[in-house]
Amino acid sequence: MPLNCSSLAARVPHVSGSGRVINKFTPNHVGSLFFIHHQNPSKYIVSLSNFNQSCSSSTMEDQRNLRVAASEPEKYYKELDVAVRAVQMACALCQRVQDSLIAKTNGQVQSKDDNSPVTVADWSVQATVSWLLSKSFGRKNVSIIAEEDVQKLSKVDASGLLAAVVNTVNECLAEAPRFGLEGPNMALRASEVLEAISRCNSTGGPTGRFWTLDPVDGTLGFVRGDQYAVALALIEDGEVVLGVLGCPNYPMRKEWLSYHHRYHRIITKLTPPTSESWDKGFVTYATKGSGKAWMQPLLHANKKLVWPNSARPVRVSSIDDPASATFCEPVEKANSSHSFTAGLAHTMGLRKQPLRVYSMVKYAAIARGDAEIFMKFARAGYKEKIWDHAAGVVIIEEAGGVVTDARGNPLDFSKGIYLEGLDRGIIASAGAKLHEKIISAVDASWDSSSL
């Protein structure tokens, strides 16, 4: 089947699981296309007339003699490739565990010291992603900040819980080849799983490179059968340079975001599945400075991940009038103020009901254009952690949106595990014009608030 100009220009760059750049087409700043040699990316392109039979004759004539030196391979291409595949695997793991949780608990939900829930999926995803990153880049080259530790799993009375985690990790890693990654030669022992989890002990900082991982962001939503996300980001010298968000329960139809996840389980049993089924889920990702964010569907069972896996670009909404905007806020009231955001929404003339969803799914909703505003104003004493925001921030920014604190300052990921110096709250929006209106409204309303 002949390829036309538009299909070539939209093609996502492809990198193999080993990080080897293969043939790809990519648009340059004036719309011409590069053909990059898989062994020597610095080679000059060959004439596009050899590859495109369906462009107009005038366009073909313009392109016929054009030979342009290809730019160097996209920065972070290997890191992005591995990260997307690892998050795809993590999402598959989470789906299996969530189905089990909905069927019966089996002691898979535990409580942390702050009484927030943690599940077999949290530990299993952390171990799996930690192992995959170390395998792909070398253990000495990988530093990770992640949410979970091994304290509870290491207790004498937790042998059953640990066994469940080990089994879940090995079941997931056994499928690594299906996702284009290399798995272990033999099943991991309990000690190796614990080591993979405990290696995620970086403290971050302003220099060097480290990953941030929230294995199951929105665990409360996860255990309730609702929305959650797997969030992985790469930070280099204090800046987020790469972000990947897996949203396994995100419906493809925007209007279904407002309904409880279990409602759709019932509905889809009563109606034939389609390409727009609510439960397809997706992985969205971006690299800093690319000016693009992408979304690809989750890999179905027994299928192999072939890049770009039907990926398509995502872009924020063009709405800049608050009266027409949809805003997101956290479901949980424990660490955010719904009353202030409600008053702020009224002040700005927001007419729509807030979209309350768990986790960094809110960032994905804005990047996809399904919502325009995310506002979170923490209660006194609560400190935002970097793994709760890093991936979402770079994805929204590359999709054309803006993320700052409530003063309009960029979020600072260089101070360790917390977003230190955060002014009042976090605001994400679909564009600069809308963002300025929100900042102004916050300034006008803040003195009368009790936060």
Which residues make beta-bridge pairs with 211?
144, 234
Distance set, CA 83 to CA 179, 287, 296, 411 (Å): 11, 11, 13, 22
Residue of 173, 132, 169, 134 lying closest to 150 (CA atoms): 169
For 218, the token pair is 């929105």
Which residues make beta-bridge pairs with 231?
214, 245
Separation between Cα atoms, residue 24 and residue 37, nearest integer Å = 8
Where in the sequence numbering do the catalytic residues fall? Answer: 122, 219
Radius of gyration of the chain (CA): 22
Burial profile 135-153: b = 16 or more Cβ within 10 angstroms, e = fewer: bbbeeeebbbbbbbbbebb
For 8, the token pair is 């070539």
Enter the DSSP assignment of 301: T
Q: Is the dihedral of CA 270, 272, 274, 280 positive or negative?
A: positive
Residue of 428, 426, 422 lying closest to 401 (CA atoms): 428
Separation between Cα atoms, residue 353 and residue 381, nearest integer Å = 28
Separation between Cα atoms, residue 116 and residue 147, nearest integer Å = 12
Which residues make beta-bridge pairs with 35?
25
Separation between Cα atoms, residue 16 and residue 417, nearest integer Å = 32
Residue of 311, 429, 308 lying closest to 365 (CA atoms): 429
Which residues make beta-bridge pairs with 212?
145, 233
Beta strands in 127-208 (DSSP E): 144-146
**Count of CB atoms within 10 A of residue 116's CB?**
13
User: How far does CA 38 lie from the centroid of its chain?
Assistant: 28
Separation between Cα atoms, residue 449 and residue 378, nearest integer Å = 12
Separation between Cα atoms, residue 373 and residue 362, nearest integer Å = 9
